[in-house]
């Protein structure tokens, strides 16, 4: 008797085999970004289309909080034909379109430089919300891209760069903008510390003290100042003065710690 082929298994095998020839679509590497900006003055932010291949047309909308910032102008695009629309800038959004004929642009493409003026209070933050309306290649095929929004903070991070003290020392702090806020990287940390105990003689006593190294910022520099501290009595040498029975009559020398040496005559 002839056995029938297992049709479900056959179709499943064909499907798995086809994956090796067709391939699985990869996640788009192209990103549209604007970055984070921190400033108390008018400044330029840049919209980039990164890691793109053959982009010939793009339309992007930027939205923000008009009570905190406003777009003053748009320009300097890598696209030879670029049309900005800032008619609704006071309402909190602008639109831009760029295109190129005869082949697209590849690599990291500067879509536009956005001149932004802050108008809010110090410390306020507005989101820079990007919406890619259109992104296509020279064959009018859509280009997949991930979008990374930015933030604008009304604060000057560079003005905060200085030498800062902390619990046990001081450090240089270099501030940068992230999420519309000023954050810092620590550099050149200096920590206060105590040196080793040092014993010394003072009159008829043995004392000890240690050196304290104090680091602090001065004129944007961390300055070290050393001073002796924690002075303490170790022994009073006079407490060891007296006669000592050696069992013999002769001159004896008794060492009284590190302070002095005295000769005493002992008689029977």
- The model's pLDDT over 204-233, given as tens digits with 9 standing for 90+, comes to 888 888 888 777 666 666 676 778 888 888
Q: Which residue has better confidence, 247 or 143?
A: 143
CATH code assigned to 28-153 = 2.60.40.680
Predicted pLDDT of residue 248? 64
Tokens encoding 13 = 């095998």
Give 214's strand partners: 225
What is the distance between the alpha carbons of residues 107 and 85, in angstroms, rounded to a whole number? 25
Which residue, 109, 118, 116, 57, is CA-closest to 86?
Answer: 116
Q: CA-based diameter of the chain, in Å?
A: 133
Residue 19, C-beta contacts closer than 8 angstroms, at least 6 positions apart? none
pLDDT-above-90 percentage for the chain: 49
Mean pLDDT of the chain: 82
Angstrom CA distances, 46 to 85, 95, 119, 128, 265, stand at 16, 14, 19, 11, 95
- The model's pLDDT over 82-111, given as tens digits with 9 standing for 90+, comes to 999 999 999 999 999 999 999 999 999 999
Give pTM, 2 decimals: 0.63
Predicted pLDDT of residue 245? 64
With cut-offs at 50, 70 and 90, classify the pLDDT of residue 173: confident
Delimit the CATH 2.60.40.680 region(s) of the chain.
Answer: 28-153
């Amino acid at each position: 008797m002839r056995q029938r082929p297992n049709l479900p298994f056959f179709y499943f095998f064909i499907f798995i085999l086809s994956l090796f020839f067709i391939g699985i679509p990869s996640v788009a590497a192209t990103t549209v970004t604007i970055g984070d900006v921190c400033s108390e003055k008018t400044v330029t932010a840049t919209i980039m289309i990164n890691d793109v291949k053959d982009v010939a047309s793009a339309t992007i909308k930027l939205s923000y909080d008009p009570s905190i910032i406003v777009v003053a102008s748009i320009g300097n695009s890598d696209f030879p034909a670029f049309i900005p629309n800032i008619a609704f800038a006071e309402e909190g959004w602008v639109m831009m379109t760029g295109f190129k004929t005869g082949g697209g642009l590849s690599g990291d493409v500067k879509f536009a430089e956005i001149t932004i003026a802050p108008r809010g209070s110090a410390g306020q933050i507005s989101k820079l919300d990007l919406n890619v309306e259109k992104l296509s290649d020279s064959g009018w095929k859509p280009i997949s891209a991930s979008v990374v929004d930015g933030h604008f903070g009304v604060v000057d991070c560079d003005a905060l760069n200085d030498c800062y003290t902390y619990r046990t020392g001081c450090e240089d702090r270099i501030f940068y903008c992230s999420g519309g806020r000023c954050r810092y990287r620590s550099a050149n940390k200096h920590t206060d510390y105590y040196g080793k105990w040092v014993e010394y003689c003072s009159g008829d006593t043995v004392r000890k003290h240690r050196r304290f190294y104090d680091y602090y910022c001065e004129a944007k520099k961390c300055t070290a100042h050393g001073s002796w501290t924690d002075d303490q009595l170790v022994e009073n040498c006079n407490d060891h003065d007296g006669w000592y029975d050696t069992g013999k009559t002769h001159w004896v020398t008794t060492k009284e710690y590190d302070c002095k040496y005295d000769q005493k005559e002992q008689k029977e």
